[in-house]
Amino acid sequence: MKTIAIDFETANEQRGSACSVGLAWLEGDEVVRVEERLIRPKDMRFSSFNVAIHGIRPEDVEDAGEFPEVMDEFADDFRGATMIAHNAAFDFSVWRACLDLYRQSYPELSYLCSVKMAQKAWPHLGSHKLNVLAAHLGLRFAHHNAAEDAAICARATVAIAKSLQVPHVRDIPAAIGMKVGRLFSGGYAPCTCRLK
């Protein structure tokens, strides 16, 4: 079973404006591969707000592939994988919006939200933002770089599994009452977590 953390950055407020994707592959409790790809959005409108967050400008993505081309490189990796995203509702809405924009079908995969998992594992933390979790775990990273965000998401998820004393990150949902999210050709089911 493949486990891959994913993070998107967007060019503007539109969810279909992905301009970068970061991926981090987990094997056991080790991050074994990290990749980042720039993406040329269909609409090359970059908002100053988004650029201030991630630093990606239109000239950076001029020669990059568009969403279908970039994501197709990883299609075999995604098939049947368990994906993880920090605030999965955002990242998976970006993925769906981009697929919708290009009239592509959704891949078949399941996904987990590391924010929801962190809230259950470490309720004492005042915030469960990625930079807060990184500080809690003693990890340093360049926030809002898609590859680094994906890698920290993966490492935080491993730490969550250890704190919950479960053998694998895929065992976290059963331990905390999480319903695993899914993408499938006919649509999607969100990742949800019951309250206490």
The pLDDT averaged over each successive group of 10 residues in the chain (196 residues) is 96 98 96 98 97 97 98 95 96 97 95 96 94 94 94 97 95 96 94 80
End-to-end CA distance of the chain: 29
Give domain limits for the chain: 3-193
Q: How far is CA 152 from the centre of its chain?
A: 10
User: In a 3-state reduction of DSSP, which class is residue 94?
Assistant: helix
| Rounded distance between C-alpha atoms, residue 39 and residue 10, angstroms | 9
Say if CB 68 and CB 75 are below 8 A apart. no
Q: Does domain 3-193 have CATH number 3.40.50.10490?
A: no
pLDDT for the residue 194 = 78
Give, in degrees to the nearest 5, the angle at Cα 183 between 105 and 187.
Answer: 60
| Rounded distance between C-alpha atoms, residue 150 and residue 146, angstroms | 6
Give, in degrees to the nearest 5, the angle at Cα 3 between 133 and 66.
Answer: 90
pLDDT for the residue 1 = 79
Say if CB 3 and CB 19 are below 8 A apart. no
